[in-house]
Amino acid sequence: MNLELIIFIVLALTGAISAVGMITRPNPVISALFLIFNFFALAGLYLLLNAQFISIVQIIVYAGAIMVLFLFVIMLLRTGEEPKLFSEKKHIKYFAIVIAVLVFVQLGYLIFYEAPSEYISQRVQQSMEAGTIENIGQQLYTTYMIPFEAAGFLLLAATIGALVLAKKNFE
Amino acid sequence: MLTEFGKVLVFIILAAAFVVIALFVARLIRPARPTKEKFTIYECGENPEGTPWVKFNIRFYVVALIFLIFDVEIVLLFPWALTYQDYGIYGFLVGIIFLLILGLGMAYEWRKGDLEWEKPSPKPPNLAKILEKSKRNIPVEVPD
């Protein structure tokens, strides 16, 4: 058993346990904290897959900014007084169980019975090199320069839109 | 030999171990005599009343939203900071244009006053006036 496998198992277990913790806690704030834990485990898994950029995005954007937003929403909306979803609508529970079993069977089949295709194993080295921050930068600022600036415009629109909407609704 | 991310992992493990060991040793050493009073919520000596869920000011949410947008900007500038030197003035200008576009959003926010935080200005009670008022109303105590 090499080190990489041990790290993978630890991270995967952390991710799975924190995901289950997130959906089972009755207190939404504790759920949100479990979600942060899950994001960090996912970031570690991305690093193991040599996707450094996605891993950093995961920590900075998801675990940083989006979680702050989630917590603010939880704080803004008074929760805790609503009845539980499953106690009100019983049939949703059976539907959820069917979907969960289906996904589980699919995943089990893919992991244990399906061999990785030729096409994937040929390109492993290439995809490993593509995930580094330097490579993404080289692509982003030469080939994909226009989409990059377009992303800047999108963010500008998001900034102004957020400010306008916030003023309109609450003042 | 460790990679750079391996060093980060060692840091994370050491930090976690530091917390766990410190808490465990503290548990061994400290006395444990819990009483009912010790488990109540600490509220500066007062008995807590009502729910601690207070409605937050919506302005906090707007600040968080703006923070999210500029966070995404940082993420897009990370690869730029690493590689812009390889492309000379051209690569530099790509990032500068991006920064200018987002600077426009920042300027809008600033101009519209969303960075201002209107503080409520409570009037402190004027002690001299209160004393003067109370002097008139205090009934004179007659000693027996």
**Which residues in chain A have their CB less than 8 angstroms from residue B84's CB?**
137, 141
Mean pLDDT by 10 residues, chain B (144 residues): 79 94 93 82 74 72 85 88 83 88 89 76 75 67 67
Q: CA A19 to CA A60: how far, in whole Å?
A: 19
Least confident of A19-23, A76-80, B115-119: A76-80
Q: What is the pLDDT of residue A83?
A: 64
Spatial distance between the Cα atoms of A19 and A84, rounded to a whole number of angstroms: 19
Q: What is the largest distance, in Å, between two alpha-carbon atoms of chain B?
A: 98
Calculate the alpha carbon distances from A159 to A42, A64, A168 in Å: 28, 18, 14
The answer to pTM > 0.90 is no
Any CB–CB contact under 8 A between A5 and chain B? Answer: no
End-to-end CA distance of chain A: 61
Q: Sorting pLDDT into bands at 50, 70 and 90, what band is A12?
A: very high
Q: Where do the structural domains in chain B lie, given as residue ranges?
A: 16-115
Chain B nearest CA to A41, separation (Å): 12
More confident of the two residues A170 and B62: B62
Taking an 8 Å cut-off on Cβ atoms, the answer to whether A148 and B76 are in contact is yes
Contacts of B72 in chain A (CB under 8 A): 61, 65, 155
- Contacts from A9-15 at CB under 8 Å and sequence distance 24+? A11/A41, A11/A44, A11/A45, A11/A48, A12/A41, A12/A45, A14/A38, A14/A40, A14/A41, A15/A41, A15/A42, A15/A45
From chain A, the residues in CB contact with B58 under 8 A are 76, 166, 170
Which residues of chain A have a CB within 8 Å of the CB of B105?
155-156, 159-160
Which position has the higher pLDDT, B56 or A105? A105
State the pLDDT at residue B35: 85
Chain-chain contact of A69 with B65 (C-beta, under 8 angstroms): yes
Q: Which of residues 128-147 of A touch B (CB under 8 A)?
A: 133-134, 136-138, 140-142, 145
Tokens matching residue B82: 């690493």
Q: How confident is the model at residue A112 (pLDDT cuts 50, 70, 90)?
A: confident
Residue A79 pLDDT grade (very low, low, confident, very high; cuts 50, 70, 90): low
Q: pLDDT, tens digit, for every residue of A114-168?
A: 776 666 667 777 777 777 888 888 888 888 888 988 999 999 999 888 888 877 6
Residue B39 pLDDT: 80
- Give the architecture-level CATH label for domain B16-115: Up-down Bundle (1.20)
Distances (CA, A) of A40 to A9, A25, A37, B63: 14, 19, 5, 24
Residue with tokens 């201002």: B116
Distance CA B89, CA B96 (A): 10
Per-residue confidence band for A10, with pLDDT thresholds at 50, 70 and 90: very high
Output the pLDDT for position A111. 82
ipTM of the complex as predicted: 0.75
Tokens at A70, concatenated: 């989630």
Residue A101 has pLDDT above 90, yes or no: yes
Comparing CB atoms, the residue among B55, B84, B91 nearest residue A78 is B55
